[in-house]
Amino acid sequence: MKFRKLTPEVIKDKVVIIRVDFNVPLKDGKVMDTTRIEESIPTLKFILENNPKELHILTHAGRPKGQVVPEVSTAHLIPDTEKYLGEKIEFRPDYSKGTSKIQLHENCRFYPGEKKNDPALGQEIFDNIQPDIFIIDGFAVCHRAQASVIGLEGKVPCYPGFLIEKEIEALSPFLTDKKLPGLTILIGGLKMETKVPVLRHFAKVAENILVGGGLANTFQVAKGVSIGESLYEEEELAAAKEVMDIAKANNTNFLLPEDTICAGDIESTDTEEVAIGEVTGNKKIFDIGSQTINHYAEVLKNSSTVIWNGPMGVLEKEQFANGTKEMLMTIKDLKSAKTILGGGDTLKSLKKWNISKSEFSHVSTGGGAMLEFLAGNELPGFKILEE
């Protein structure tokens, strides 16, 4: 894929719309984590340094489901955005134009037509703001065919911001049908649906796939292993078998937990470490065990590239967070390997244990978008950027 390049002459004297991902956690009108704002500051500063006529910032926050929800108004984002940008920003309660050079518009997802990519909403944005160019710098929304992401397609030239460029550069090398020696995929989390396409891909090209989290339970059942009362996805058993068959046919080492941390329920601190297949009674699996941690760590240490998406256990509960912590610390210490992290819960683990993103080669800003991209699927937000 060849994309247009964002250059000074593209911006000078132009009315610019940029779609960022400032979907930050908000509490009582305060931003609790500014990471997503900080990620797009280089692109925003570049735009302003090259003298646009106007800069209009679009984003969503929270899940208002097409309703006006004051708690997630983007007005709450202005103080922190002004701080990092070093510029005053005018808040616009809709898609109408104000009088300032920099304007942040209200939450895109307050509009019912946003998620449906209603052409009328895209036209409204265009008619009201009259942009000359459109820039996407929110990787986490690039897999969404929504009005604020693709609604200006065909109306104005569309460009990637620097955050998008960085993601493409980091992830594109893995879009290949060739075997990639030394590549290990560590994948966890709960739901099979979003992970199966990327697992199908890496079952062909990776050297190792290490599975944890609730995801592993479905694979265990597909192999005929007893998991007690643990949750798994019966409707995904055929997909799990397919992935394991692809791995076997392509000599990809596909590893599942050998032992687990289990308990009667998620709130229980009465935990037990048992071998897989020995989860009995009402016990449920909530984390990987010490033998699995050691085995996975050994594989990771012998890898030249590691891609990690998804926790190994219930990250929110201290008694079930150790597997994720140990994987994080192991990957952090792989100084000679290329290390790529992605996914919301994976990034939560960095915050939880106060690990800087600079410890890794690349930390993706998109969970679902990263998985879609690595699975080889066409992202709507990327398609409109092609030359």
In a domain, 69, yes or no: yes
Q: Which stretches of 140-267 are DSSP H helices?
A: 147-150, 162-171, 196-205, 213-222, 237-249
Q: Are residues 48 and 159 both part of a single domain?
A: yes
Starting at the edge strand that comes first in sequence, how are the strands of the sheet with 338-342 ordered? 253-255, 208-211, 183-187, 305-309, 338-342, 362-363
Check residues 2 and 162 and name the one with the higher pLDDT: 162
47-76 CB burial, b ≥16 within 10 A, e <16: bbebebebbbbbbbbbebeeeeeeebbbeb
Q: What is the pTM of this model?
A: 0.92
Mean pLDDT of the region 161-185: 95
379 DSSP assignment:
P
Which residue shows structure tokens 């966890």? 188
Domain count, the chain: 2
- Provide the pairing of β-strand 272-275 with 284-288: unpaired
- 273: enclosing H helix or E strand: strand 272-275
Q: Are residues 137 and 248 both part of a single domain?
A: no
386 DSSP assignment:
B
Phi and psi based region of residue 28 (left: phi greater than 0; alpha: psi -120 to 50; beta: remaining) = left
CA atoms within 13 A on the CB side of 254: 23
Q: Are residues 154 and 240 both part of a single domain?
A: no
In a domain, 310, yes or no: yes
Domain that holds residue 103: 8-164
Percentage of residues in the chain with pLDDT exceeding 70? 100
In a domain, 301, yes or no: yes
Hey, how many other C-beta atoms are within 10 angstroms of the C-beta on 12? 11
Q: Are residues 156 and 186 both part of a single domain?
A: no
Could you tell me the two tokens for 231? 């949750």
d(CA 36, CA 19): 13
- CATH code at position 283: 3.40.50.1260
pLDDT at 86: 97
In a domain, 143, yes or no: yes
> What is the tens place of the pLDDT at every residue in 20-55?
999 999 999 999 989 899 999 999 999 999 999 999
In a domain, 381, yes or no: no
Q: Are residues 81 and 230 both part of a single domain?
A: no
Q: Report the candidate in 342, 353, 352, 354 with the shortest Cα–Cα distance to residue 140.
A: 342
pLDDT at 2: 81
Q: How high is the mean pLDDT of the chain?
A: 95
Residue 387 has pLDDT above 80, yes or no: no
Mean pLDDT of the region 51-70: 97
Which of 137, 164, 191 terminates a domain? The answer is 164
Concatenate the DSSP letters of all residues of 119-130 into one string.
Answer: HHHHHHHHHHH-
Which residue shows structure tokens 């739901």? 191
pLDDT at 280: 86
Q: How confident is the model at residue 1 (pLDDT cuts 50, 70, 90)?
A: low
d(CA 216, CA 200): 15
Q: Are residues 245 and 331 both part of a single domain?
A: yes
In a domain, 30, yes or no: yes
Which of 164, 194, 218 terminates a domain? The answer is 164
> What is the tens place of the pLDDT at every residue in 174-201?
999 999 999 999 999 998 998 999 999 9
CA angle 277, 195, 243 (to 5 degrees): 60
Q: Count of residues for the chain?
A: 387
Q: Are residues 215 and 283 both part of a single domain?
A: yes
In a domain, 131, yes or no: yes
Q: How confident is the model at residue 347 (pLDDT cuts 50, 70, 90)?
A: confident
Q: Are residues 271 and 252 both part of a single domain?
A: yes
Q: Give residue 62's identity as a one-letter amino acid code.
A: G
Q: Are residues 190 and 249 both part of a single domain?
A: yes
Q: Are residues 138 and 234 both part of a single domain?
A: no
Which of 164, 191, 219 terminates a domain? The answer is 164
Mean pLDDT of the region 53-69: 97
Q: Give residue 92's identity as a one-letter amino acid code.
A: R
In a domain, 266, yes or no: yes
Q: Are residues 112 and 151 both part of a single domain?
A: yes
Residue 367 has pLDDT above 90, yes or no: no
Q: Are residues 143 and 289 both part of a single domain?
A: no
